[in-house]
Amino acid sequence: MKCGVDEAGLGPKVGSLFVVGVAVEGELGDVKESKEVFRRSFRTYARAEGIVLSVLRTLGLYSRSVADAWEKVFGRRNELYEGMEFPVFGGEEMGLPFRVKRLIAMEIPAHHLRRHRFLKDAKALVDISLKLNCGRVISGLAGGVKHYERFLAGWDRKVKEGAITYRREGREILFVKGADKRFKEVALASIFAKYFREVHMMAVNRLAGFSGDIPVASGYPADPDTHHLIKRLLNLGFANLIR
Model pLDDT for residues 171-184, shown as the tens digit of each residue = 999 999 999 999 99
Is 143 a residue whose pLDDT tops 90?
A: no
Number of separate domains in the chain: 1
The per-residue pLDDT for 40 is 82
CA 174 to chain centre: 18
CB 193 within 8 A of CB 8: yes
Q: Place 39 in a pLDDT band, splitting at 50, 70 and 90.
A: confident
Question: Across residues 61-90, what is the average pLDDT?
Answer: 97
Q: Place 35 in a pLDDT band, splitting at 50, 70 and 90.
A: confident
Which residue type occupies 34? S
The per-residue pLDDT for 42 is 87
CA 234 to chain centre: 25
CATH number at residue 168: 3.30.420.10
Residue 144 CB coordination number (10 Å): 11
CA 204 to chain centre: 16
Which residue type occupies 158? K
Model pLDDT for residues 78-106, shown as the tens digit of each residue = 999 999 999 999 999 999 999 999 999 99
Model pLDDT for residues 208-233, shown as the tens digit of each residue = 999 999 999 999 999 999 999 999 99
The per-residue pLDDT for 73 is 98
**CA–CA separation, 80 and 184 (whole Å):** 32
Q: What is the DSSP string of 19-62?
A: EEEEEEEE--TT---HHHH--SSHHHHHHHHHHHHHHHHHTT--
On the 0-12 / 13-18 / 19+ scale of CB atoms within 10 A, 136 is middle
Domain that holds residue 17: 2-241
Q: What is the average pLDDT value for the chain, to the nearest integer?
A: 96
The per-residue pLDDT for 33 is 85
The per-residue pLDDT for 241 is 98
- Residue 230 parent element (H or E): helix 224-236
CB 132 within 8 A of CB 23: yes
pTM value surpassing 0.85:
yes
The per-residue pLDDT for 8 is 97
Longest dimension (CA), the chain: 53
